Amino acid sequence: MDAVGMGRRAVLLGTLGTALLPTAAPADERVARALGLPAVKVARPTQAVLQAVTRAGKRLVAVGERGLVIYSDDAGQSWAQARVPVSCTLTALCFADAQRGWAVGSMGVVLATEDGGASWRKCLDGLAAARLALQAAQAQLQASPPGSEAMAQGNLLVEDAQRLVAEGADKPLLDIALGADGALWAVGAYGLAFSSTDGGSEWQSQMHRLPNPDGLSYYGLAHRKGEQVLFGEQGLVLGRSTGGANGNFAALTSPSNGSLFGALALREGPLLVLGLRGRLWRSAEPGDAWMAVQTPVDASLVAGTQLADGSVLLAGAAGQALHSRDGGQRFQPLSLPQRFPFTGVAEADDGSVLLVGMRGLLRLAPADLKAATSSSPSPSSRKSPV
Owning domain of residue 315: 3-38+47-125+169-385
59 or 380, higher pLDDT? 59
Q: Let me know if residue 23 belongs to a domain.
A: yes
Helix axes 149-167, 126-142, angle to 10 degrees: 160
Q: Let me know if residue 159 belongs to a domain.
A: no
Between CA 51 and CA 48 the distance in angstroms is 10
Is it the case that residue 11 has pLDDT exceeding 80?
A: no
82-97 pLDDT, tens per residue?
Answer: 999 999 999 999 999 9
Q: Let me know if residue 93 belongs to a domain.
A: yes
Residue 20: per-residue pLDDT: 36
Residue 242: per-residue pLDDT: 80
pLDDT band at residue 118, thresholds of 50, 70 and 90?
very high
For residue 368, report the phi and psi dihedrals to the nearest 5 degrees: -65, -40
pLDDT band at residue 374, thresholds of 50, 70 and 90?
confident
Q: How many domains does the chain have?
A: 1
Residue 22: per-residue pLDDT: 41
Q: Let me know if residue 185 belongs to a domain.
A: yes
User: What secondary structure letter does DSSP report for 17?
Assistant: H
Q: What is the DSSP string of 245-306?
A: S----EE---S-SS-EEEEEE-TTS-EEEEEGGG-EEEESSTTPPPEEE--S--S-EEEEEE
Between CA 229 and CA 309 the distance in angstroms is 25
Residue 244: per-residue pLDDT: 56
Q: Let me know if residue 150 belongs to a domain.
A: no
Q: CA nearest 171: which of 154, 155, 195, 187?
A: 187
Q: Let me know if residue 142 belongs to a domain.
A: no
274-304 pLDDT, tens per residue?
Answer: 999 999 999 999 889 999 999 999 999 999 9
Is it the case that residue 77 has pLDDT exceeding 70?
A: yes
Sequence-distant (6+) residues with CB within 8 A of 251 are 211, 237, 238
Q: In what order do the strands lie in the sheet with 121-124?
A: 90-95, 101-105, 110-113, 121-124
Q: Let me know if residue 78 belongs to a domain.
A: yes
Q: Let me know if residue 144 belongs to a domain.
A: no
Q: What is the CATH number of the domain that holds 317?
A: 2.130.10.10
